[in-house]
Amino acid sequence: MNPALDYKVQSSVRPDSNWTTILEIGAKEVFQIMLHTELTKLPNVEELNASGDVTAMVGMAGALCGVMSIRCTSHTAEKITGRMLGSVGAVDPKDVPDAISEICNMVAGNFKAKITQLAEHCMLSVPAVIRGDDYEMVTVPAGDQVIVGMAYEGAPIWFCLAVHT
Is 1 a member of any domain?
Answer: no
Is 61 a member of any domain?
Answer: yes
Is 143 a member of any domain?
Answer: yes
Q: What pLDDT does residue 1 have?
A: 46
| Residues 135, 154 contacting (CB under 8 angstroms) | no
CATH number for the domain that contains residue 144: 3.40.1550.10
Is 2 a member of any domain?
Answer: no
Which of 58-67, 82-91, 104-113 reaches the highest mean pLDDT? 104-113
What integer is the mean pLDDT of 125-148? 82
Is 85 a member of any domain?
Answer: yes
CA–CA distance, 124 with 28 (Å, rounded to integer): 20
Number of domains in the chain: 1
Listed in order, strand segments (DSSP E) in the chain are: 39-41, 54-62, 66-72, 122-124, 128-131, 143-152, 155-164
Please state, in angstroms and as integers, the Cα–Cα distance from residue 46 to each residue in 41, 42, 62, 67, 149, following that order: 12, 10, 30, 21, 9
Is 133 a member of any domain?
Answer: yes
Domain enclosing residue 151, as ranges: 16-164
- Mean pLDDT, the chain, as a whole number? 86
Is 105 a member of any domain?
Answer: yes
Q: What pLDDT does residue 45 have?
A: 59
Q: Which amino acid is at 7?
A: Y
Q: With a cut of 60, say whether residue 4 has pLDDT above it.
A: no
